[in-house]
Structures are given as C-alpha cells and as structure tokens.
Amino acid sequence: MSHFTLATQLAPEEYRILDAIEISMRKFEWVPLKNILFYANLEHERVNFWLDKVHKKGLIIRHSGKPEGYVLNSMGYDLLATHALAEQDIVVSIGNSLGVGKESDVFQGIGPTGEWLALKFHRIGRTSFRAIKNKRDYVVGKFHTSWLYICRVSATREADHLKQLNGIGADVPVLRGHNRHVVVMKQYNGQEIQEFPTLDDPRGIFEQVIRNVKKIYHEAKLIHSDLCEYNIIYTDDKKVIIIDWPQAVSTDHPNAAMLLRRDIENVCKFFGRHGVNVDPEAIVVEITGT
C-alpha cells in the first residue's frame, strides 16, 4: 500500500504537528518541543499525544539525545505536500511510480477533470546531502540548511521555469501545480530517447530539440544546463518534450557559454550514434550569434 493513502487518514491535529515541525526546521537541526507547542497551538498534553501518533505512523524522526527534538522525514513531508495539493483541487489521487532518479521520484496522478498527471517529488541530496549543500548556489552561506529547504527551493525553481517556458510555447511539460517539493505536470505517453534502440527519424527529432534550445535561449533567456538523452522524451505522437528544469540558468549566468556548449555537445554526441553528424560549435554559434 502506498504511503499516500495516509494523506486522507490523518487528523487535522496531526497535520498541525507536521506543519509546526516543518516551520521550525528552517532554524533547527532538531526541532525542540517548545517550538512545536507554539506553532501547533495545542495544549501541552495534546501535542504529546499527537506527536506520538505521527511518530508511530513513521512520519517524523524523534531524537532522544542532546539536543532533544524532532524532524520530518520524507514521508511526512510528502503527506504535507499532497494534502495541500488535494485541498487546492490540483490532484485527486496518486497512483503508481513512473520512475526513480538520483534526485527525484515521479508518481502518476489524476487531476479533477480526469487528466493523467505526473507528480515529481524532488529528493535533492538523496545520494550526498553534504555535497549538494556545498555546490548549490541557493544554499551557499546558510548556517543551517535542511534537506527539506533544498528540495523545496529546487521544486520552486523548476515550477517557475516551466511556467515561463509554457508561456512561450516551448516543448516542455505543462505545469499543473506546485506545492513544497512537488511539481505537478501533465503526463505524456512516451519514453526517454535513450530507451529507443533505434529512432524512426533521428534527424527530425534532433532538429526539434535544437529548435527548442534556440527558442528557449532567445525568448526565455534560459539554458537547460543538463541537457542529454535522459531528459528528452519522445512521445507516441512524435513530439519532443524536454524535462528536468530545476538547474536551468539565465543566459547572463557567468558560466552560460560553457553550459550551453555542454548541452549542445551532449545532444550532438547522442544523435551522432544514430547517424546525425553535425558540428556542435556551429550550432552554438547559430544559437548565440557569436
């Protein structure tokens, strides 16, 4: 049974406890009881009762050493986000896993109109949280940064980029909603291009990708900065969808030229294995005009 079924079974007081811990994790490695008492706005004995409830359901971690305190785990954070998405009438149900990556989990969902959705749960730092803290530009200089904060910022960045790219008509997932570390998108029937042993029209697919890179560069002033065969979907109706946008950077980023060149080289290398022989540098010049 998926842990998402718990989202409809928790009492309002349990969500208040989870909310109180979430708020305080911005400042504390282990959230003290006094903070939970303050933000949950419940009587002391009731807080202890509901804390015990969510702990037994596996939604928080209790630290009995020094300092004493509590933190959310990923399941507790998932339920806060999916509960909010349900209350916002963005998602009515969540189903099977669609994929697991290094920094995200994707689940199938259904929207209020019956539309199939893809819910992307950001799991930044799953393999090495310390390394992520050291290299992500939006956490540099912070004394205490929780995994929760980094995942939330990553998802917000991706949602903002998708909204911008939807606005110019780029071939990227259509954004349906966002809450905390979860980005909700329209689901597409297709596969990553690296999963196809052969491509029916490699030149045409390649040109679709480059056309999008150029459009996004000029109209949205963005560079994907991690473009490769693992984040290009080829749909059943012969359309390219470029996914994974949290790390996109502006064209005025100090490393913009290097990142664009790397994206183009990655794409050219992959399609070169399918008989599309092109000069990456010439494409970079065509896109940038320099």
β partners of residue 240: 234
Question: For 157, which DSSP code?
Answer: H
Q: What is the spatial distance between Cα 167 and Cα 182, in angstroms, rounded to a whole number?
A: 20
Give the helix ranges, DSSP H, for the chain.
12-24, 33-40, 44-56, 74-87, 129-135, 147-168, 202-215, 256-272, 280-288
Q: Are 259 and 239 in contact, with CB atoms under 8 Å apart?
A: no
Active-site choice (78, 105, 160, 226) = 226
Give which of 111, 131, 278 is closest to 209, Cα–Cα. Answer: 278
Cis amide prior to 67 (ω within 30 degrees): yes
Known active-site residue 244: no
Q: Are 24 and 16 in contact, with CB atoms under 8 Å apart?
A: no
Please report, to the nearest 10 degrees, the dihedral formed by the alpha carbons of residues 131, 183, 209, 202 taken in order: 90
Torsion sign over Cα 31, 36, 37, 38:
positive
Amino acid at 226: D
Report the catalytic residues: 226
